Amino acid sequence: MEQNRKDFDELGPAPTMRYYRVHTADIAYITQQPRGIFTTVWNLVDKKILTEEEEKEYWKNREYFEEVLPVPPFYDQGNPDHATTWFKNGEEGNNIWKQMTFYRDMCKKYGVRLYLTETDEMPGELVYEDDFQIAIKDTKPNLKLVTQVLL
């Protein structure tokens, strides 16, 4: 897996497959799936790892992304279906990924290993969809995935 390692500066264009997730190897409690980049950086804030200036920048970024990237409504109910979100490999989803430099920079700075997982099929049962992303529950057991190390 290490031979696929890429630096964020070398990442280049967004993935070419249909759906993708950026995550850690850490398994999230609710979903029992690898933890996504948004909650990963939130954990850095919550654990008081970021500097005061970085934390201010985090809140600016979070406010921005909550305005431009729809928050799936199931999060208001505590994610009862244990859904995971995947970016769509399309103009909107890829544009959001390109804008997430602060999140990538914080992971890089604090040594958080990130992975990019891609699939060209619906990864599970669809429970939410917008122009940027999908959310699924019950990940397919034999889902064909391509995963590479980003950091």
pLDDT in single tens digits along all 151 residues of the chain: 444 445 555 555 554 448 999 999 999 999 999 999 999 999 999 999 999 999 999 999 999 999 999 999 999 999 999 999 999 998 999 999 999 999 999 999 999 999 999 999 999 999 999 999 999 999 999 999 999 998 7
The range of the structural domain enclosing residue 71 comes to: 2-149
Give me the pLDDT at residue 3, please: 44
State which amino acid sits at residue 30. Answer: I
Question: What is the pLDDT at residue 99?
Answer: 96
Residue 6: its pLDDT value, please?
Answer: 53
Q: How many domains does the chain have?
A: 1
Residue 151 is predicted with a pLDDT of: 77
User: Considering the entire predicted model, what is its pTM?
Assistant: 0.83
